[in-house]
Each structure stands twice: as C-alpha cells, then as structure tokens.
Amino acid sequence: MYTWEITASFEGGLLEGTSRLILRSQSDTPLLPSIGIDCEFQLLRFLKSKKFKVPKPIYMDRSGLLTGNPAFMMQKTIGSSKFIGTDSKLNILDRKQLTRDIGHQLGKLHKLKIPSNQLRLFKKAREQSVIDRLYTQLDLLPYSLPVIEWALRWLEKNRPVKRSQSLCHGDFRNGNLLIHRKRLTGIIDWEFAHIGNPLEDIGWFCARCWRFGNDMEEAGGIGHLSDFMESYETLNPRKVNWVELPYWNIVATVKWALIAHRQGLRDSWNSTRKLELALTGFKGVQLEHEILKLIKNHERVKI
Amino acid sequence: MKDADKMTKLLEAAKIVLEEDIIPSLPSRKRLSALLVEEALSIALNTTYQLVRQEENETVKNNKVLSNQIRSGVYDTSLDGEITKILSRDVSERLEASTPDFKMHQKFSQYLTN
C-alpha cells in the first residue's frame, strides 16, 4: 500500500472547507497476506461504527481515478507513530496509562463479534494457519534460509492447542499506533487483518524486536506487560492463555525475519528508501540469532 | 563471505545515495573527500560481485540441501540437538561479518517501519 497525507479544499457538502486527509492506495504488486484496499476501507467503516480508535474512512475510489489504482481517503487522525518508548518525558504513570489504553483497544478488538457479512472479507486468510502463511512467505524467497526452516519445523511440532479465534489486526506494533499527548489516538494500517489466534497480535506487539532496545518494557517497549494484561483482561477474562505468549513471540520474530529478508530484495525509485531496504535486509540475520536464542530458552524451560 | 548478495545491494544503494543525494549538495571543498569515498565504495563493490559468484556455488547449494532435510523431517528426533550448533555457527559468522555490534549488545534498532 502507498499512503500520502494531503490537504484538500471542498466546496459544499459534508466536508466543506479545508481538511487534512490521508490517501491510501493499493500498490501495483500488493503483498500476499493483504486483504486489499476495498476490504480495508469496509473494515475501517465497521470498526469506526463500533467506536474503535481508527481513522474515519471517507471515500472509496474503486476506479483508480485518484492514483491509478483503487484507493480510499480517510480523515487524518491526530498523533504520531514515532517510537516513544525511549522518550524521557514519559514518566511511569504515563507509560502505565498508555499501556492500559493499548491493552484496552486490543482487548476490545479481540472481543468483537464479527457479523457474517464482514467475515467474508477474511475468507482467504481463514484458509491458512499462521505457520502455513509463513511457509508460503519462505517459499517465495529466491534462496533457502535453514534457520527459518528449522524454526518453522519447531513451531509446527510445538503448536499449542487451537483456541477460540478473533479478529486480529495482523500488524499490531508501536509503529502502527498513533499517540498524541501521551495518549493513544489511533490504530492504523489494517491491511493484514485476519481471523486468528488473539495471541498472534499480542506476541507481535510484545516481541523484543519491536522494543527498539527498551527491552525492560515488555509491552511494545512502552510499558509493563502486567498493565497491558490487566487492561486486556478487563474486557476479555480468560480469553488467552498467557503461558503461550513466548511461543507467539517466536512466531512474531520468525515473521519479522522473513519480512526483513524480503525487504532486502525489494527495489525503490527513491534512493534513500533503497538504502533503507538494503539495510533492513541485514536485520534478517539479527532476527535469526534472536530466534535461535528464544527457542533455546523455550526448550530449557520445558526441561 | 556469507550474505555477499545482500552486501552488494547495500553498497549499491549507499553509492546511489552518495552520488545522487549527497555529492551534488556538497560545497566544493568537501566534494573531493566524498568522491574518494565513492571510489572506495566502487572497489568494495567489485570485490563483492566476485564473492557473490563464489557464494552461488557454495553456500546457496548447502543451504538448500540443509533446508530440504529439515523440511523432510531428517532432524525431527532432535530438533534441539546437533542441528542447532550448525545453525548457530552460521548465524554467528554472518553477524560477525555484517553487524558485530549486535552480537555484543543484542539490541534492535529502528530505521524501518513499513
């Protein structure tokens, strides 16, 4: 997906005047697990109607008139997705409140009953388990990665008992959370939403690779896991088995490793972006190192 | 050298940023130093092109064989056994070559979100 911030002037109608909007467009080559731009638009409309902290979708352009590809416009939500975990202005109470805000929103999402007409949006994603999706990603790479192959085998052999499924965001990490004045104002980028194990979202949010060095704050590098869990459980008592969280941290690290390897192969017309992608490719080996460590620790606990 | 293909892409991308974004905006007194850096990058690139060709014949083949063995279940009886030593050694060598600092501090940094 491509995203632009635009300032638009309207004459008449509901949006009369000047508005700051976000234009989000399908790319020429959408990523495999993406639900697509039209589904994302419909999902945002549904979530907004349920009072979630998501941007308000405004207009869907299926014809490709605006960008050459299907695209939609939404209102700009105030806030920044810049990582604030290491911000010294954030005191203990701020961290606690913010972590609780995040836990509450995710708990609310995982509790949501999805009407059957919305469920069809996720048909494709429901047919594959997360491990199968990761195997598909691995097989798309032009080279073999024995550590990832081994990790996926291990994940398969240690797969937890299947539990109730929820609507998952699919990319729930600090980079997709908008924060303003130390409070959560929005959750963005819903293109990987799917029906799955709620711990998949929590494992992704809490994985060490997304804490950017602020490792003591297990909840996304922002706050304590206990605050996150407490807030999450207020809406969802006994929804998830927290003992399985380390397993889902491993799933998350394998997923990010595969993305990093893929990013390293991508090209861009923008030279700085091209350099950024090439540097990300080198994160792959760091994540492989982390995977080996995490599985080793998991095995040690089992003994 | 492991990951030679990635190293090549990285050096190519760095060279483009240097040539297109940095050098044109530099004052002339700094330009000579930047051109020397550009020349150094070109030499490093030529070396990695050679390494990529060598690697294609060795590492790629070995990784493919090992991956196939893992997927077909050859190591299933001891997934946490000898195989982990082989994998750890390989990862350790690649880290040493690309980001040895990570090996020491093991802290993830941020420069890409999407």
Q: Is B66 exposed, middle or buried (0-12, 13-18, 19+ CB in 10 A)?
A: buried
DSSP secondary structure of A43-56: HHHHHHHTT-S-PP
Q: How far is B10 from chain A (nearest CA, A)?
A: 5
Which value, to the nearest 10 degrees, does the dihedral of the CA atoms of residues A16, A62, A44, A255 take? -140
The CB-side HSE value for A20 (13 A sphere, CA atoms) comes to: 6
CB A179 within 8 A of CB A230: no
Residue A31 has what pLDDT? 66
Residue B114 has what pLDDT? 43
Which candidate from A271, A279, A290 shows the least CB-CB separation from B16? A271
CB A141 within 8 A of CB A265: yes
Q: How far is B34 from chain A (nearest CA, A)?
A: 17
> Taking CB atoms and an 8 Å limit, are A281 and B103 in contact across chains?
no
What residue type is A166 in one-letter code?
A: S
Closest CA to B58 of A151, A153, A143, A257: A143
> Taking CB atoms and an 8 Å limit, are A286 and B99 in contact across chains?
yes
- Rounded CA-CA distance B113/B109 in Å is 11
> Taking CB atoms and an 8 Å limit, are B21 and A271 in contact across chains?
yes
Q: What is the mean pLDDT of residues B55-83?
A: 88
ipTM: 0.81
What is the rounded end-to-end Cα distance, in angstroms, of chain B?
29
CB B103 within 8 A of CB B92: yes
Residue B16 has what pLDDT? 92
User: CA-based angle A33:A259:A64, to the nearest 5?
Assistant: 45
Q: How far is B29 from chain A (nearest CA, A)?
A: 24
Question: Does B114 reach chain A within 8 Å, measured CB to CB?
Answer: yes
Residues of chain A with Cβ-Cβ distance to B3 below 8 Å are 282, 285
* Spans in chain A with pLDDT lower than 50: none
Residues of chain A with Cβ-Cβ distance to B5 below 8 Å are 143
Residue B48 has what pLDDT? 86
CB A60 within 8 A of CB A23: no
Q: How far is A286 from chain B (nearest CA, A)?
A: 7
What residue type is A232 in one-letter code?
A: Y
Who wins on pLDDT, B48 or A149?
A149
Which of A79-88, B28-37, B61-70 is predicted most confidently? Answer: B61-70
Question: Does B89 reach chain A within 8 Å, measured CB to CB?
Answer: no
> Taking CB atoms and an 8 Å limit, are B64 and A144 in contact across chains?
yes
pLDDT tens-place string over residues A27-70: 876 666 788 899 999 999 999 999 999 999 999 999 999 889 99
- Rounded CA-CA distance A73/A40 in Å is 11
State which residue of chain B sits closest to A268, comparing Cα positions. B13
Closest CA to A194 of A62, A32, A25: A32
What backbone torsions phi and psi does residue A267 show, to the nearest 5 degrees? -120, 165
User: CA-based angle B7:B11:B13, to the nearest 5?
Assistant: 115
Q: How many CB pairs under 8 A join A and B?
A: 132
Question: Does B102 reach chain A within 8 Å, measured CB to CB?
Answer: yes
- Rounded CA-CA distance A114/A79 in Å is 28
Residues of chain B with Cβ-Cβ distance to A4 below 8 Å are none
Q: What are A213's two structure tokens?
A: 């060095």
- Rounded CA-CA distance B72/B70 in Å is 6
State which residue of chain A sits closest to B101, comparing Cα positions. A286
Q: How far is A13 from chain B (nearest CA, A)?
A: 34
- Rounded CA-CA distance A78/A236 in Å is 28
- Rounded CA-CA distance B114/B111 in Å is 10
Mean pLDDT score of chain B, rounded to an integer? 85
Give me the residue label for tokens 């990319």: A171
pLDDT band at B45 (very low <50, low <70, confident <90, very high): confident
Question: Does B74 reach chain A within 8 Å, measured CB to CB?
Answer: no
**H/E segment holding residue A4:** strand A2-10
pLDDT tens-place string over residues A60-114: 999 999 889 999 999 999 999 888 877 888 899 999 999 999 999 999 999 998 8
Q: Is A144 exposed, middle or buried (0-12, 13-18, 19+ CB in 10 A)?
A: buried
Which candidate from A144, A274, A285 shows the least CB-CB separation from B94? A285
> Taking CB atoms and an 8 Å limit, are B112 and A277 in contact across chains?
yes
Distance of CA B110 to the CA centre of its chain: 18
Length of chain B: 114
Residue A61 has what pLDDT? 93
